[in-house]
Amino acid sequence: MFGSGSDSMHLPDYKEARTRDRRNYKRVHFNFDKNIKDKYRGKTFYLKTYGCQMNEHDSENIEALLIQLGFSKVDDYSIADLVLLNTCSIRENAHNKAFGMLGRLKHLKQEKKDLIVGLCGCMAQESSVVEEILRDYKWVNFVFGTHNMYQLPNIIDKAIEENKQQIEVYSREGDLVEGLPVNRVNSYKAYVNIIYGCNKFCTYCVVPYTRGRERSREKDDILKEVRQLIADGYKEITLLGQNVNAYGKDLYEDYTLANLLEDIAKMKIPRIRFTTSHPWDFTDHMIEVIGKYDNIMPSVHLPVQSGSSRILKLMGRRYTKESYLELFHKIKRVVPGVSISTDIIVGFPGEEEHDFLETLDLVHTCKYDNAFTFIFSKREGTPACKLEDHTPLKEKEERLQRLNEVVNQYFLENNKKLEGKILPVLVEGVSDKKNMYYGYSDTNKLVNFTSNKEINTGEIVDVSIITAKTWSLDGEVVE
């Protein structure tokens, strides 16, 4: 077992990660170490990102840090000098994918002795993963945790200079770092972190352990970032957090996500989104603000996880089927035309057929616009991992299939209602076919459309919807 680390490395520890006392984490401004700036000019990196938008956005910071070190980006790992995996722990398959990639890199490293391989992100926060890397993957050059990202330049430099495996993983949340450089994926839509971590400790979920407890960014730092994005011509921002609804609770007496959304909406950026929302913290004030401003997109991700109050209790979700439905209907009532999407887990330990039927029943009531559906995956160290689970995997797979049939039916039904309507679409790209473009509507629907005049990515255009499909809409631009 690991303690809190030795002189040369810091190792992860779930016991520490679980500690929820109000630690005074520091807010610090990042400065790049001038001594190593551009030190690796001429070298290349390949960065593979697994998992959620939070990881995608972290990778935008990581890329910028690597570029400041002098590395340039390549899209093929076999030709890179440095390969970094930004990993996800949420379900076992994400885990397996990263280990599969490590297997391929092991072979590559046998041919290319100088190859530098690193692992970061949520898996790095798991003591069992780090234990395995120390034991069986001694050739991995460095590992750093989600709280150690700002140390990346020095960790890499040390791994190369000393030619010794570096492990830097803090389990108590580290400092809240402002001023990290960012290399954004595109020039018209951007992620903006507003809160890190999660305090909810849903019994199946590993996130509170890998991402630490809730820490909000100062509102002035967020507003400054948004102001800059607007000045740079960005059209859409997505406010990010594991649970954005808890924004501000750790910092302010009376400044919440509703206030932040309102302040940003007044700044006149065309599109504002936010994700993810836990139903527990969804206030009337938030709903009112979402309904009030045209530039807050009428699209809410509201994970329900299960339609059975008994299972919700075992999941530690803090709401019942009834209170969820009350919130759901309130949002539908106050925000005209809102689309609501969700996450659902089937096969949670102890879920019986009648619980599952309640989930189907809830889906029939909510008729979601989109749903991400999963089979429960045991995550080591979480309370649900210890619960008795007598349902065979085959039965869980059948439940997932039955659930998917029902959710898909409603995706199509909702999309059909949009035939003949005109929707504003933020153009994201040109498809291979001539005159074909694609983008997302205000309600976050994928729209493929034709246009005779040339359109640039990042433009918002009106599209007349002709045909609805299950996962997308087809249309033509309104001239």
- Footprint of ligand 5AD on this chain (CB under 6 A)? 90-91, 204-205, 303, 305, 343, 345, 374, 376-377, 379
Query: Which positions ≥6 away from 162 have C-beta within 8 Å?
Result: none
Task: Answer with the entry of ligand SF4, ligand 5AD, none that 151 interacts with (C-beta below 5 to 8 A by kind).
Answer: none
| Residue closest to ligand 5AD when measured from CB atoms | 343
The CA radius of gyration of the chain, in Å to the nearest whole number, is 23
Nearer of residues 205 and 426 to ligand SF4, judged by Cβ = 205
Length of the chain: 479
d(CA 470, CA 218): 40
d(CA 406, CA 27): 47
Closest separation in Å from C-beta 90 to ligand SF4: 8
Nearer of residues 178 and 380 to ligand SF4, judged by Cβ = 380
Instruction: Provide the binding-site residues for ligand SF4, judged by CB under 6 A.
Output: 198, 200-202, 205, 207-208, 242-243, 278
Report DSSP letters for 134-179, one per residue: HHH-TT--EEE-TT-GGGHHHHHHHHHHH-S-EEE--SS---EEE-
Closest separation in Å from C-beta 8 to ligand 5AD: 33
Sign (positive or negative) of CA dihedral 231, 234, 238, 240: negative
Sign (positive or negative) of CA dihedral 420, 422, 426, 431: positive
- The answer to whether 384 touches 203, Cβ cutoff 8 Å, is yes
Task: Answer with the entry of ligand SF4, ligand 5AD, none that 201 interacts with (C-beta below 5 to 8 A by kind).
Answer: ligand SF4
Nearer of residues 200 and 235 to ligand SF4, judged by Cβ = 200
Closest separation in Å from C-beta 317 to ligand 5AD: 10
Classify each residue of 400-410 as buried b or exposed e, where b means 16 or more C-beta atoms within 10 Å of its C-beta: beebeebbeeb
Closest separation in Å from C-beta 119 to ligand 5AD: 20
Nearer of residues 153 and 212 to ligand SF4, judged by Cβ = 212
Task: Answer with the entry of ligand 5AD, ligand SF4, none that 345 interacts with (C-beta below 5 to 8 A by kind).
Answer: ligand 5AD
Closest separation in Å from C-beta 202 to ligand SF4: 3
Closest separation in Å from C-beta 211 to ligand SF4: 8
Task: Answer with the entry of ligand 5AD, ligand SF4, none that 105 interacts with (C-beta below 5 to 8 A by kind).
Answer: none
